[in-house]
Amino acid sequence: QVQLVESGGGLVQAGGSLRLSCAASGRTVNGRARGWFRQAPGKEREFVAAVRWTGGSTYYADSVKGRFTISRDIAKGTVYLQMNSLKPEDTGVYYCATHYSGSFYYTAAYEYWGQGTQVTVSS
């Protein structure tokens, strides 16, 4: 089994920054891409960003391009999401997941999920 643990969420004012971390343990999945999704109350879970483990290519939702940066630390098996210029519409629970097959942009393409970390951006 694989366990993903997210951390780094919190309450921040609009325009502020947060850095989320996603640590993996258990059966190694370090060869797989990893993604971040978020879910606001009453809304579907949506793609935020993804990074290929090999090569480090990155992918972003249009709504976060230029503000968020996803990265990975191969030695630690950890993925990060640096979030700058945060907006109230960025509020939600942020989930980390390991990619399995298919497009990075869809939840169905991911196999293992963390429990999520809450991000709240006040106006």
Residue 26's contacts (CB-CB under 8 Å, 6 or more residues apart) are 1, 2, 3
Nearest to 106 by CA among 44, 28, 32: 44
Average pLDDT over the chain reads: 95
Please check the confidence at residue 24 and state whether its pLDDT lies above 80: yes
Q: What is the mean pLDDT of residues 82-87?
A: 98
- Is residue 99 within 8 Å of 111, Cβ to Cβ? yes
Percentage of the chain exceeding pLDDT 90: 89
Looking at residue 68, its pLDDT comes to 98
Looking at residue 1, its pLDDT comes to 81
Please check the confidence at residue 67 and state whether its pLDDT lies above 80: yes
Q: What is the mean pLDDT of residues 78-103?
A: 97
Q: What is the largest CA-CA distance in the chain?
A: 41
Looking at residue 81, its pLDDT comes to 98
For 107, list phi and psi in degrees, rounded to 5.
-60, -30
The three-class DSSP label of residue 74 is coil
Looking at residue 102, its pLDDT comes to 94
Q: What six digits make up the tokens of 22? A: 């996603």
Give tens-digit pLDDT for 27-65.
766 688 999 999 999 999 999 999 999 999 999 999 999
How far apart CA 61 and CA 47 sit, in angstroms, is 6
Q: What is the mean pLDDT of residues 92-107?
A: 96
